[in-house]
Structure 1
């Protein structure tokens, strides 16, 4: 059986070894899981899932890697190892991990009230009430128990201030809307807590959230193709947008991207707008499986990361940015039809990518999880 390993950015000081490592990433893995092959064959024949990929990693080595289909029903672009995807809510796990980095550095605490950094949250009220309530904590924001109303950005009206403002304006707007419940008492899945925390990070660091994410987490982990920012080359490799770029020059695609940015406003949705690759998410999950180590460097204390995997009050199976499957398995899914998980006890990693939507991708994702985490 051929095994491939994604090397950490700190583990290959010699250029020749680096080149070898990069070449090995794309080498084909031998079939090892007939149940997965059956699931993929079924998905490949299902027109609701035009294309996708499934990767399994054990002990840091790729033992199963499959790419199937095309970007869309109408596209002839094959889904392969160069494909990048909108990972949607898997972004929450990445953002929560960034918070863990800052906690490990002593810049903040999971239990800090967000009003400590964002004064607009010091005098919150319950919606439709004059009752004053306390500020939610960072942990409550990351576990969807801060008291914000549930809902995703996609459900907001086009003229919502959230879709026009920057991080600071969005955080202030959310504070003026009040909370739907007292912090720590109810679970309501939403982007809002992450919006507040992303602004808090900007206040603490004095820098834009995307820059902090790159410097503190993505670059140290070698996640060089994970980003909030669309570029021409990435758009051509991104199934959700590639069809719009086919047959167009780079200049035309760049103009399309600028129009898209203008329509969406400057707000960076850290709860759902990252794009990434299997290689990068493997690095991310391996980092968690290795308890915060990258090579010989401890990026985050293991004790700090462990807080992310602790079931939070008022939730059924949610930590801080991670769903808790049980038995040591943690991860997250995305509305675009993506899933990334790791068994922290065995080190096994499962990454399933489609862009077909969570409902259409559910049989593949849940089926693969049952095979990998029986």
Structure 2
């Protein structure tokens, strides 16, 4: 026993000797400053061992508590791999098949047409190929009090974006549905199943699956948003109703254990959490999408982009790359593995920037001796251009405001109940001298309405929202000058209010 420990120690030290951890440490620290990220944690695993794990910066801007390898962040869409692994476990046990129809387990599940509804499979749910647009329908669950089942019952109203199994549209709604399939098959909620079959087995002791668990914990990163050029802490947002698509909260130490198990083909010591056969399914492309010209220029060795079952797939310098990103309100994550090298990198940050990709690629290059690119320096100008583009998008709308106008009818005419079968009920009330809009399923989206121009009003949100800020709505009229509905314009790239078409009841 002592001899084996000595051998393990020597092997681990040998890996350390080959990797310039001091150089990486310096690079990561500089990148944190360059990207103006409050805090970040990074871990690297190689050949079944954690060879690097460290925190940088602070848990919350303007506070002293430091990030370390045990600091918890939202991993957001990196949750999806836990859902696919859970279903893989059930496939391995013979309880389900990847090709089982979804309606077999969720009779209330429905898509935009009968054929898609009846033929959608578990495999389809996990590979973003069911015909919905990227992020389409996310406004249904965002900050709403709908249960997961209630969210799923609204999916039939989400518009079709492309033909069934004929395109790529990243869909959180389908992973919410997959989580409910786990519940139907096992009688256990998705989070209970993951706790029992993965977190407990891997001793991921600080990993939780709801923000409701955070008050009893310490060492928690605060989410941040840049507001008026200032990095600002924002509250944690409850994602329980979509938790199967993005609800897990973890740290790089725990996530390293997850990566080691993944690269060990589902084995955890002598225990099998899922078989190598079903892992092949998860890591096989089920839905391919183009490598853009910009991506080809940035990474000439990349030949394909695809999505397996809960995992993004591509290649880097002749090696398969298995990865996923995650975006939560004020927190971003990225997990990447090069399975044939038994190499994995996880990056967790408490800001909404693209730093994680640069950190990941630098670590991979250093460990595989595959180049000396300054990924961070190369990426920063593009990130700043994108930030400027988003500002200009808002500025253009502000510039279009027509001063000196007034609504076509008194404020009282806008008061009432509005409804859209896609979303639900929204109420407009008159409080003192101004209008207030109340999204009934999502009280946290309540906003005052200030007159913008004509029959358009600006949304003055009661709370800070990570994905959007500026927004307007327009009251619609019929030919008799009667208010008939509301249309939204809330420019952002994640939560699409324009999918809501309210009719006055």
Please tell me whether the aligned partners of residues 335 and 347 of structure 2 are also in contact (alpha carbons under 8 angstroms): yes
Please tell me whether the aligned partners of residues 334 and 356 of structure 2 are also in contact (alpha carbons under 8 angstroms): no
Structure 1 residues 151-170: aligned runs within 5 Å = 151=135, 156=139, 163-170=144-151
- Are residues 234 and 283 of structure 1, via their aligned partners in 2, closer, same or farther at CA, if it must alter by over 3 Å? farther
Higher strand proportion (structure 1 or 2) = 2
1:292 maps to what in 2? 266
Q: Deviations over 1:299-325 (max 9, x none)?
A: 211001111100113443211111113
Q: Deviations over 1:37-69 (max 9, x none)?
A: 342131232362122122222122222223211
**Is there any run of 5+ residues in structure 1 with no aligned partner, and where?**
1-11, 13-28, 243-256
Please tell me whether the aligned partners of residues 83 and 190 of structure 2 are also in contact (alpha carbons under 8 angstroms): no
1:274 equivalent among 241, 248, 265: 248
Please tell me whether the aligned partners of residues 32 and 39 of structure 2 are also in contact (alpha carbons under 8 angstroms): yes
How far 1:235 sits from its partner (Å)?
Answer: 5.2
**Secondary structure of 1:97's match?**
helix
Please tell me whether the aligned partners of residues 149 and 180 of structure 1 are also in contact (alpha carbons under 8 angstroms): yes
**Secondary structure of 2:108's match?**
helix
**Secondary structure of 1:219's match?**
helix
Please tell me whether the aligned partners of residues 32 and 64 of structure 1 are also in contact (alpha carbons under 8 angstroms): no
**Is there any run of 5+ residues in structure 2 with no aligned partner, and where?**
2-15, 225-234, 290-304, 371-505
TM-score (norm. length: structure 1):
0.77
Larger Rg: 2
Q: For 1:325 and 1:172, locate their aligned partners in 2 and report how far apart those are by CA, in whole Å.
A: 34
2:307 maps to what in 1? 318
1:146 equivalent among 130, 144, 150: 130
2:340 maps to what in 1? 345
- Are residues 234 and 111 of structure 1, via their aligned partners in 2, closer, same or farther at CA, if it must alter by over 3 Å? farther
Please tell me whether the aligned partners of residues 39 and 368 of structure 1 are also in contact (alpha carbons under 8 angstroms): no
> Does the alignment pair 1:208 with 2:196?
no
1:197 maps to what in 2? 178
Please tell me whether the aligned partners of residues 148 and 190 of structure 1 are also in contact (alpha carbons under 8 angstroms): yes
> Does the alignment pair 1:367 with 2:355?
no
- Are residues 354 and 232 of structure 1, via their aligned partners in 2, closer, same or farther at CA, if it must alter by over 3 Å? closer
Query: Over aligned residues, Cα RMSD in angstroms?
Result: 3.1
1:188 maps to what in 2? 169
Structure 1 residues 1-374: aligned runs within 5 Å = 32-46=20-34, 48-121=36-109, 124-126=111-113, 134-151=118-135, 156=139, 163-177=144-158, 179-230=160-211, 231-232=213-214, 236-240=218-222, 264=238, 267-315=241-289, 316-326=305-315, 327-335=319-327, 336-372=331-367, 374=370
Moved more, 46-55 or 270-279: 46-55
**Secondary structure of 2:204's match?**
coil
Q: For 2:172 and 2:354, locate their aligned partners in 1 and report how far apart those are by CA, in whole Å.
A: 20
Q: Deviations over 1:96-148 (max 9, x none)?
A: 11111111111111111211211223x6434xxx9876432111111111223
How far 1:179 sits from its partner (Å)?
Answer: 4.2
**Secondary structure of 1:125's match?**
coil
1:15 maps to what in 2? none
| Structure of higher RCO (CA pairs closer than 8 Å, 6+ residues apart) | 1
How far 1:232 sits from its partner (Å)?
Answer: 4.3
How far 1:178 sits from its partner (Å)?
Answer: 6.0
**Secondary structure of 1:119's match?**
coil
Q: Deviations over 1:312-358 (max 9, x none)?
A: 13443211111113223212121233212222112112122212224
- Are residues 45 and 112 of structure 1, via their aligned partners in 2, closer, same or farther at CA, if it must alter by over 3 Å? same
TM-score (norm. length: structure 2):
0.58
Q: For 1:32 and 1:132, locate their aligned partners in 2 and report how far apart those are by CA, in whole Å.
A: 52
- Are residues 124 and 56 of structure 1, via their aligned partners in 2, closer, same or farther at CA, if it must alter by over 3 Å? closer
Please tell me whether the aligned partners of residues 42 and 346 of structure 2 are also in contact (alpha carbons under 8 angstroms): yes
- Are residues 353 and 319 of structure 1, via their aligned partners in 2, closer, same or farther at CA, if it must alter by over 3 Å? same
Q: For 1:82 and 1:35, locate their aligned partners in 2 and report how far apart those are by CA, in whole Å.
A: 22
- Are residues 162 and 337 of structure 1, via their aligned partners in 2, closer, same or farther at CA, if it must alter by over 3 Å? closer
Q: For 1:297 and 1:179, locate their aligned partners in 2 and report how far apart those are by CA, in whole Å.
A: 43
Equivalent residue pairs, number = 325
